[in-house]
Amino acid sequence: MKAWVLDAINDFHLKEINKPQPGKGEVLVAVKAAGICGSDIPRIYKTGTYHYPLIPGHEFSGQVVELGDEVDSAWLNKRVGVFPLIPCRNCGPCQQGMYELCRQYSYIGSRQAGAFAEYVAVPAKNLIELPESVSYKAAAMLEPLSVAVHALRRSGVLNSDKKNSNIAVCGLGTIGMLISMVLLKQGYKNIFLIGNKDFQKEKAVLLGLKEDCFCDVRHTDVKNWLTTKTENGVDVFFECVGKNETINWAIDNAAPGGHIIMVGNPASDVTLERNLYWKILRNQLVVTGSWNSSFTGKEDDDWHYAVSLLSDKSFLIDKLITHKYSLDDLENGMMIMRDKSQEYIKIMAIWE
């Protein structure tokens, strides 16, 4: 089969390799669409990964074409999404069904072979069946959408009746945009987006958000802007960047008793000035970490909620897919993200 193989940092090539064989409890998935995650770029070109060779890629969908031993035959030929985190199922968090917090997990595309290939072997327990109404392309967005849903659940705003809450989303990459889309779908009126590109504003308006809800930090002071928009500050602040400056904005602009959701992976060391730490104390702020997404195989997990969103034609997930490539040309998308040579939100390889 064809696969993009990482043999060392910055040594990434399309090769012909043997097709994997599904082991006990596994299935073979013919990959139909795979998204490039921001985390793939440093893994391939800068920081490296856990071992080599590795096939990256963890945002994907496909069709089950082969079954390993002890797998329910009903999975054969099913259209599926795949939860990429493979839990040990033995540690404390796993015993509570909190698989995203597993202490000894593996991970498709970073710790074991991933989806930038024609086929990938995955545990049957990590599969979610796709409705016919959900395309493979849309389903390849299930992983980031579930991460967004998880953050929304951690904040308490998902399915809340407090629709007049002031909510800020800082950082408008894939996750920030998806959080904004779900908030809009939920009926929230006071959504404030904080970004640094005209392209982000254009996308937000295309998705149905108001033009004046966008703060361009290149030209506007965040605190002054939010002060004009809210009386007491922001009730819920989604920090989707992971930089000192944006974390400071979250603390500085949170309303008394406000909730800050830390979603962005840290770009470097993070420190707090004394006066900001005082604000956490004196405003009794709730600061919550959000990591990955919940997948239990039950109807109430993040992935099932995400599938229900994708099944709704009014949820315009395709609007976030800005570039599409074949498997052969996937590295062109990588280069755009690495070099930031074009504006993008989600770049995807599609071979359905």
Domains along the chain with CATH numbers: 2-133+313-350 (3.90.180.10), 146-289 (3.40.50.720)
* CA dist., res. 274 & res. 284, Å (int): 15
Q: Which pLDDT score is estimated for 352?
A: 63
Read off φ and ψ for residue 16, nearest 5 degrees: -95, 120
The residue count of the chain comes to: 352
- Report pLDDT digits (tens) over 270-288: 999 999 999 999 999 999 9
* CA dist., res. 284 & res. 121, Å (int): 47
In angstroms, what CA-CA distances link 220 with 167, 176, 178, 243, 262? 18, 19, 24, 18, 23
Q: And the tokens for 346? A: 């989600």
Q: What is the DSSP string of 292-337?
A: S----SSTTSHHHHHHHHHT-TTS-GGGGEEEEE-STTHHHHHHHH
Q: And the tokens for 88? A: 């040990």
Are the beta carbons of 21 and 122 closer than 8 angstroms?
Answer: no
CA 68 vs. chain centroid, Å, equals 29
In angstroms, what CA-CA distances link 276 with 59, 92, 137, 280, 318? 36, 34, 43, 7, 39
Q: What is the DSSP string of 96-135?
A: TT-GGG-SS-EEBTTTB--SSBSEEEEEGGGEEEPPTTS-
The model carries a pTM of: 0.96
* CA dist., res. 186 & res. 156, Å (int): 12
CA 175 vs. chain centroid, Å, equals 5
Segments of the chain scoring below 70 in pLDDT? 352
Are the beta carbons of 201 and 211 closer than 8 angstroms?
Answer: yes
Q: Which pLDDT score is estimated for 268?
A: 87
